């Protein structure tokens, strides 16, 4: 194909590409070769794709073209190249979680969601970079090194699905799969200007055996899609769900986004969760997204979610309930990323010492660190049980607020995915609370999607006031030089109503397109 044809092919969504392959306009081989060439062109700067299966993908593309030539039935992603997060098993490749000791441990079968993508006709090009043990919002680890953001190489694409978001934003893959325990799909999607979705807890549970132990069931990681369009995310979600009405127990049907009447929706929106104030640019993007829905007739009300700090305590308390023992066992003798080393050290300290440290940090003006440290060090079953009870109580309180607060009952919530646009490399150590806008909905188990809205304007770079708090200092660094970075809205629906979130996301996407759309990543 010519360079122009390759460029046109790379600009296609997954759905468009599947249609072009099915019609014979493009072959699967051409699609795969174009995306391999794009990965090879951008990956030296991004370090997003860390395991490549090009030979296998080429063979699978040839077989896909032969099936089409024979007139066999074609899946909805027939011949479409995709990428998979390192944490999900793909036969013949390692799932390392950033652990050098796992680099030669090859999967003997596909993860169930990978298998469903393959059954739909997708062709896997490779696997993408992550943080060590998937535990923070930068994709950097001692095995593969640091992934970079295609909008600004000095900034992170986020984590833990950061490599996935980066390569999709850069055009090396039209769509892929990530996982989300505490914002791991949504924060990278927002940082890189792509679409992503975390499904309702229980719809697509993540069976990965590393990171946070599978035995921790209060907050359960979910597998979800990332792509450049809402329609691609909707299709990929339907595929990994096992279909629109899968034969599963309990049944987990998906509604139809096209059947949602936007004018009948009641929408709540907020821009400050009370933990880390969002950047001026982020506030504007969220307000614009809510305005797009209001423009289609939805009833939109400014709102404040109840006691997000309590939800944050539940999140950090549940995930540290073992005192970091599971993480230490997973790490073994492997070299430790400094951020992981810090988390494991804190989680393993005795409770009296942590309580004293939290109090001292508060007195020293380090409110963000104090609020996290106060949840560590319990390491007893009774405390974990009480956290689960507190989570159940909080879920009831939150639903009641949605039902009874002024302007409700609400169908949709619009809010930030993170307090800031893409942060600078290394700052996730101090900005643990930046993603609390996302972790709230892991505690609740609600489905939530990310849709790009805008980019940071030069006049929005004006940093927040100076502070001695390390998190606020890092937030100030993030805002300086942020002009041109992508901005997104997080769109939250009630449990099992992903289709309502997708319908709202589609309206926002259409409104953004009508005013000129999102630009391409500036560093590429």
- Catalytically annotated residue among 13, 139, 160, 161: 160
Let me know: does 157 contact 120? Beta carbons within 8 Å.
no
Rounded CA-CA distance 5/289 in Å is 34
How far is Cα 254 from Cα 185, in angstroms, rounded to an integer?
A: 20
Q: Is residue 184 flagged as an active site residue? A: yes
The distance between the two most distant Cα atoms of the chain, rounded to a whole number of Å, is: 73
Establish whether the linkage from the previous residue to 366 is cis, with ω within 30° of 0: no
Find out whether 130 and 145 touch, Cβ atoms under 8 Å.
no
Is there a contact between 232 and 174 (Cβ–Cβ < 8 Å)?
Answer: yes
Cβ–Cβ < 8 Å for 429, 198: no
The answer to whether 54 and 81 are in contact (CB under 8 A) is no
Question: What residues pair up with 490 in beta bridges, in sequence order?
Answer: 415, 450
Tokens representing residue 211 in the block: 């990171």
Question: β-strands 412-415, 299-302: how paired?
Answer: unpaired
DSSP H helices, 130-207, are: 162-169, 186-192
Compute the chain's Rg from CA coordinates. Answer: 22
Choice among 13, 85, 127, 173 that is catalytic? 85
- Helices 498-514 & 280-295 angle (0-180, nearest 10): 100
The size of the chain, in residues, is 524
Q: In whole angstroms, what is the distance from residue 299 CA to residue 38 CA?
A: 43
Residue with tokens 């395991």, as numbered in its chain: 51
In the block, tokens 């680099």 appear at 103
Rounded distance between C-alpha atoms, residue 70 and residue 262, angstroms: 43
Selecting among 95, 139, 173, 184, the annotated active-site residue is 184
Number of Cβ atoms within 10 Å of the Cβ of 105? 12
Q: Cα-flanking dihedrals φ and ψ of residue 377, to 5°?
A: 95, 5
Q: Write out the catalytic residue numbers.
A: 85, 160, 184
């Amino acid at each position: 194909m010519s360079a122009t044809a390759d460029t046109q092919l790379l600009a296609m969504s997954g759905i468009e590409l599947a249609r072009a392959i099915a019609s014979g306009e493009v072959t699967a081989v051409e699609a795969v070769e174009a995306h391999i060439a794009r990965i090879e062109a951008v990956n030296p700067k991004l370090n997003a794709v860390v395991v490549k299966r090009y030979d296998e993908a080429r063979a699978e593309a040839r077989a896909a073209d032969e099936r089409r030539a024979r007139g066999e039935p074609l899946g909805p992603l027939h011949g479409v190249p995709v990428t998979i997060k390192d944490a999900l098993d793909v036969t013949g490749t390692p799932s390392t979680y950033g652990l050098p000791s796992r680099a030669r441990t090859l999967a003997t079968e596909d993860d169930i969601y990978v298998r469903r993508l393959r059954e739909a006709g997708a062709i896997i090009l490779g696997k993408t970079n992550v943080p060590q043990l998937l535990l923070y919002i930068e994709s950097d680890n001692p095995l593969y090194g640091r992934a970079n953001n295609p909008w600004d190489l000095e900034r992170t694409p986020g984590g833990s699905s950061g490599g996935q978001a980066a390569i999709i934003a850069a055009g090396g893959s039209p769509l892929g799969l990530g996982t989300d325990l505490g914002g791991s799909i949504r924060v990278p999607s927002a940082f890189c200007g792509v679409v992503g979705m975390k499904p309702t807890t229980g719809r697509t549970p993540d069976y990965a055996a590393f990171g946070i132990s599978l035995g921790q069931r209060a907050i359960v990681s979910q597998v979800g899609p990332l792509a450049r369009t809402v329609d691609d995310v909707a299709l990929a979600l339907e595929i990994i769900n096992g279909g629109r009405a899968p034969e599963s127990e309990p049944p987990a049907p998906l509604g139809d986004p096209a059947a949602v009447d936007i004018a009948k929706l009641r929408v709540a929106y907020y821009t400050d969760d009370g933990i880390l104030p969002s950047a001026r640019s982020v506030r504007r993007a969220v307000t614009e997204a809510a305005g797009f829905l209001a423009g289609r007739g939805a009833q939109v009300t400014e709102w404040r979610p109840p006691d997000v700090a309590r939800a944050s305590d539940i999140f950090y308390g549940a995930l540290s309930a073992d005192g970091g023992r599971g993480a230490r066992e997973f790490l073994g003798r492997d070299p430790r990323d400094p951020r992981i080393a810090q988390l494991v050290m804190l989680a393993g300290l005795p409770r009296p010492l942590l309580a004293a440290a939290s109090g001292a940090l508060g007195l020293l003006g380090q409110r963000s660190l104090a609020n996290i440290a106060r949840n560590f060090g319990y390491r007893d079953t009774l405390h974990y049980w009480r956290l689960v009870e507190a989570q159940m109580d909080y879920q009831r309180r939150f639903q009641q607020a949605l039902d009874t607060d002024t302007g409700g009952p609400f169908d949709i919530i619009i809010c930030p995915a993170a307090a800031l646009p893409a942060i600078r490399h290394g700052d996730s150590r101090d900005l643990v609370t930046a993603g609390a806008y996302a972790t709230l909905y892991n505690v609740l188990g609600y489905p939530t999607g990310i849709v790009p809205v805008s980019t940071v304007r030069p006049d929005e770079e004006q940093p927040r006031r100076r502070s001695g708090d390390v998190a606020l200092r890092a937030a100030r660094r993030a805002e300086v030089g942020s002009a041109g970075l992508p901005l997104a809205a997080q769109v939250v629906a009630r449990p099992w109503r992903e289709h309502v979130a997708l319908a709202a996301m589609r309206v926002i996407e259409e409104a953004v397109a009508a005013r000129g759309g999102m630009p391409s990543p500036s560093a590429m």
